[in-house]
Structure 1
């Protein structure tokens, strides 16, 4: 239940690098680490050829407001920064959501094999796919600490999968994990500024966070109850672009809000008909309609 009042405060005392994992370590060892730490980090798990089409399509949809800089090899802001749900963001985001490459990335064999390491051989990929546009000079508007179990109304077998579309360093804002934070269940939440509008409670002893610079093709998988957040993008011009979705073992309950395009609840024209209108293939259209455990 959402508590009324200021967001919960938390103290960040120590940062340590993300613990690296390799798909070849074996299911048993990786699942044990996932249950201990609440996440798995796979550096360069995806080849450039897998993620480049998504990056290029996103940049095309965001042009002329965000463009690729060949010198820095990063997206760059052209004009004033904007925040998720700003008028400009609302105008651009349906174009991003309609990208077939964005949705298809999470159904490719390389990504599904990573999902299977924690969910088993029969995986259900949520239809809601998210694209993140972290613009510079919007301090205070980054995603606060939260648990997906609350925001997605999900059980403990759901997990998130996040993919880096390009290299990103500390200044650009990074996905930050509170290791072991999944073991205590779903936490109380408070109203907060930033993406999602809520922050979960952080306990006084929780001062160690895991975070690393990321490279193109890096993948992070995290438990539905693992507390995570985005650091602020404090760069002057560079933009961080990434994509993520949620998945579970087939047959686990999935709440109905996860069946709509991301932000369809607040952008009237953003529905599946809009998303699918220019797709070349048919196989992923409405693939989720016969899922047996919707509520």
Structure 2
């Protein structure tokens, strides 16, 4: 049973830019930074591979969301919608069925980034997530949380988040509480927004890291690192991003991560639906032989 509790008050929060990293730095330096701050920010690390996925997402989100050439960003064409709204439920299965969404995290460039924190052999979770942060839905953004709770994950799991286009402050941004992974898995409370829960924020935790992002920027974060989304305060621009979780090969992965994202609540959204139009079947059910499923 999840207790009800007060929402964190962020009016007194202080913001500083993400600490920037480069994938060509010595691995020991990157790992030390990851363990100190709980994340790595790698600007434009996947900039060469995100455009096809962005185009695929826009194709299935039309006519509700489209690319505005003048603004160089996705924009909302109608009423705003939130994750689990009826319109979101109608379009999201088609987003989940995109082969490019799943394949992005298995391609060589993404795998190379994962080895920065998980060693030479990694396991990518089957559940891949696409985020559609529409404007004018204030109060429904993702609250502060830890993936260790929401994914039933151990300390070797990490998240990898990828920006699909440039996004600035008014569009809402992923925000990290640096060093928060060092204080363990926290109590959670009911909260409005994506996921339905938020974790406890301690009184001395007022400094958050956040930056405007560019297409292909990558953030890798520890399973216990507290993170949240800022609200999209723009009048029309939509923020699109994708993410998944991974771990060192052999670490435990729980069954809740083996379904398509939101497959537990959208009846038709299962793997047969996701795979039905893929050009290749090499990633179909790739996790079934993984030795540590629970």
Same fold (TM over 0.5): yes
Whole-Å separation in 2 of the counterparts to 1:8 and 1:82 = 24
Tell me the equivalent position of 1:24.
24
Whole-Å separation in 2 of the counterparts to 1:218 and 1:107 = 17
Summarize the alignment of residues 33-52 of structure 1 with structure 2, pairs less than 5 Å apart. Answer: 33-48=33-48, 50-52=49-51
Secondary structure of the residue aligned to 1:29 is helix
- Does the aligned pair in 2 maintain the 1:147–1:225 contact within 8 Å? yes
Tell me the equivalent position of 1:247.
246
Tell me the equivalent position of 2:93.
94
Whole-Å separation in 2 of the counterparts to 1:13 and 1:230 = 14
Whole-Å separation in 2 of the counterparts to 1:47 and 1:137 = 28
- Does the aligned pair in 2 maintain the 1:83–1:141 contact within 8 Å? yes
After superposition, what is the alpha-carbon deviation per residue over 1:168-212, rounded to whole angstroms, capped at 9, x for unaligned?
Answer: 000000000000000011000000000000000000000000000
Quick check: 1:224 aligned with 2:223? yes
- Does the aligned pair in 2 maintain the 1:172–1:238 contact within 8 Å? yes
The Cα of 1:46 is off from its aligned counterpart by 1.3
Whole-Å separation in 1 of the counterparts to 2:280 and 2:171 = 35
Secondary structure of the residue aligned to 1:25 is coil
After superposition, what is the alpha-carbon deviation per residue over 1:237-279, rounded to whole angstroms, capped at 9, x for unaligned?
Answer: 0000000000000000001010000000100000000000000
- Does the aligned pair in 2 maintain the 1:7–1:198 contact within 8 Å? no
Normalising by structure 2, we get a TM-score of 0.98
Secondary structure of the residue aligned to 2:29 is helix
Secondary structure of the residue aligned to 1:55 is helix
Quick check: 1:116 aligned with 2:128? no
Change (3 A) 1:5 1:184: closer
Secondary structure of the residue aligned to 1:288 is helix
Quick check: 1:164 aligned with 2:156? no
Secondary structure of the residue aligned to 1:56 is helix
- Does the aligned pair in 2 maintain the 1:36–1:180 contact within 8 Å? yes
Count of residues paired in the alignment: 294
Secondary structure of the residue aligned to 1:57 is helix
Tell me the equivalent position of 2:273.
274
Quick check: 1:137 aligned with 2:132? no
5+ residue gaps, structure 2, are none
C-alpha root-mean-square deviation of aligned residues, in Å? 0.9
Whole-Å separation in 1 of the counterparts to 2:250 and 2:82 = 36
Normalising by structure 1, we get a TM-score of 0.98
The Cα of 1:26 is off from its aligned counterpart by 1.4
Runs of 4 or more, structure 1, over 4 Å off, are 8-11
- Does the aligned pair in 1 maintain the 2:174–2:229 contact within 8 Å? yes
- Does the aligned pair in 1 maintain the 2:170–2:233 contact within 8 Å? yes
After superposition, what is the alpha-carbon deviation per residue over 1:87-113, rounded to whole angstroms, capped at 9, x for unaligned?
Answer: 000000000000000000000100000
5+ residue gaps, structure 1, are none
Whole-Å separation in 1 of the counterparts to 2:232 and 2:187 = 27
- Does the aligned pair in 2 maintain the 1:122–1:250 contact within 8 Å? yes
The Cα of 1:9 is off from its aligned counterpart by 4.4
- Does the aligned pair in 2 maintain the 1:147–1:226 contact within 8 Å? yes
Tell me the equivalent position of 1:3.
3
